[in-house]
Chains A and B, each alone.
Chain A
């Protein structure tokens, strides 16, 4: 096996944690088959980020460090990874299924004329074929997919599913030469979200509110619990459509599909579209006044009761437990 190339995403001077998870998984897979893992970093002023990648499984790091890559562009970054593919001739190209990864993977796969296994939650090798499991129908079913004959197959790995591993190892850094490429769609401005809220797609813990919160101002109770738990704030479609909260928070079939360690559903009855988006979460907690609500069928823990009374008590108790240490 010719090894795995792993695209490393960076933003604001740091490597994305989701990329290190993808790199760790690449190392696990390659370790079992004797192949090497090469990381590829694309950006401007990013060379310093390469040294840490050895600890997460890369043996080499190819760095395309140029002003034209200062901002992400699918055209520019696809060309850079194509250059890395030509140099390494890997069996697979891994990247995290972040917004950038999902945007880039399609462009790259079409450019290389190969397949893409998107948003996978398990990946392994069957001989020389890359096989993966990925949620389809927003998690209502799991498809086992394979990359067929196409080499290299592009694989995007769902964030927060694969364990991040660290070891004591160094990677060698090598510059990557990328041919001229027309970058037509270019980022001209990035506006940071106010308050630096955690994004549900990347969060390890999520506290979500639904119609059972009764009024938009009661979402403060969801936010307080989220803060106590160090969680991102999610929402059901009903309250997004009602204008209580921005769509970026929506979890479900027409929102974000998430698999956090902890998902707390507050006043969410659990429409099939919502369950599809969160039922693969590791631990699910439901708080709802209706004991027949479908959300309780997927819950590991729950309280049947008045959500507006339970939430402040739960927040206070968690703050007390955390203060105890």
Chain B
């Protein structure tokens, strides 16, 4: 089983978001960058498949040099090879342009039986890239995978839908996006961390991928502005320490008469 895991490097989920001076980005000063949490499930699944069926795992990402730390973590978690497509500034906020770069890089470094990524890149929160890459590579895709079984040239996956679970069958090669619950990602081992430092990250330029300018221009989607959500002021907070039942009655009254939600 040869797998390629697409990683996104995102601000730590504990980050406090501030707006940049340009008014349409996050102020990156003081931001700690991490692997997008859903991508950890994708790496873990690829590494488990390698361990049970033999094979090879490549981690691939597109971005400036800070993504190298993300790739090293992927290697420490058990991947065998890492690829960085340098760049990312020009395509910020345009999922189609990003997907075109990733799809071209997968094509160049493949072939792969399986392409995996997280169900969502925490940050831009688009949940688009997996399905877009699949369409661009003319592969089937299954998003939000919670359970995976691979047979002879085919796979069976489960995913959550509103009110139930779908069981989906697809041939290999296929693109999957990983949902929380697919597995329990392991922490990088010391041995893995040491080995990851010795692996050379393959570096690609967007120019190496044979994409024309129109393809790179993507859809033209862009972020015009970024604002912080309005902050709430002065909620009605009742003290229920002495008499919880009285506080509960008063809260129910407020919800009915003032908020009108009961």
Contact = CB atoms under 8 A, between A and B. Distances in A.
Interface of A: 11, 72, 74-75, 78, 98-100, 102-107, 109-111, 113-119, 131, 134-150, 153, 184-193, 196-197, 199, 201-202, 205, 229, 246-248, 250, 253-255, 257, 261-262, 272-273, 276, 279-280, 283-287, 291, 296-306, 309-310, 313-314, 316-318, 321-322
A145 B222 contact: yes
The number of chain B residues touching the other chain, given as a range, is 35 or more
Given A141-B19, A185-B170, A110 B136 contact: yes
Q: Which 8 A-B pairs have the closest CB atoms?
A: A148-B220, A115-B219, A305-B240, A106-B131, A115-B221, A313-B248, A185-B140, A184-B140
Interface in B130-178: 130-136, 139-144, 156, 159-171, 174
Contacts of A99: 144, 159-162
Contact of B249 (A102, A185, A190, A317): A317
Given A272-B14, A302-B237, A303-B247, A75 B140 contact: yes
B95 A301 contact: no
Given A119-B125, A185-B142, A305 B221 contact: no
A102 B179 CA distance: 14
Contact of A317 (B99, B130, B222, B252): B252
A303 B237 contact: yes
Given A189-B166, A191-B167, A305 B241 contact: yes
15 contacts: A106-B130, A137-B17, A142-B228, A143-B24, A143-B225, A148-B221, A150-B220, A187-B166, A188-B156, A188-B168, A255-B180, A272-B13, A287-B240, A301-B237, A303-B238
Interface in B20-41: 24, 26, 37-38
B141 A185 contact: yes
Contacts of A187: 166-168
A285 B251 contact: yes
B245 interface: yes
Interface of B: 11, 13-17, 19, 24, 26, 37-38, 93-96, 99, 122-136, 139-144, 156, 159-171, 174, 179-181, 218-229, 232, 235-241, 244-245, 247-249, 251-252, 254-256, 259, 261-262
Given A272-B16, A276-B13, 20 more contacts: A74-B141, A103-B143, A106-B132, A109-B132, A118-B125, A138-B125, A141-B228, A142-B228, A142-B229, A144-B224, A145-B222, A147-B219, A150-B219, A184-B170, A254-B122, A299-B235, A300-B232, A305-B240, A316-B248, A317-B252
A310 B167 contact: no
A295 B239 CA distance: 15
A193 B131 contact: no
Given A302-B238, A321-B256, A142 B227 contact: yes
Contact of A261 (B16, B170, B229, B261): B261
B227 to A, nearest CB: 5
B135 A136 contact: no
B125 A102 contact: no
A298 B170 contact: no
A301 B254 contact: yes
A302 B236 contact: yes
B32 to A, nearest CB: 13
Contact of B125 (A100, A135, A300): A135
Contact of B93 (A145, A192, A254): A145
Contacts of B134: 107
A35 B166 CA distance: 37
A136 to B, nearest CB: 6
Nearest to A107: B131
Contact of B99 (A110, A145, A184): A110
B126 A116 contact: yes
Contact of B237 (A148, A248, A254, A304): A304
Contact of B124 (A136, A191, A284, A318): A136
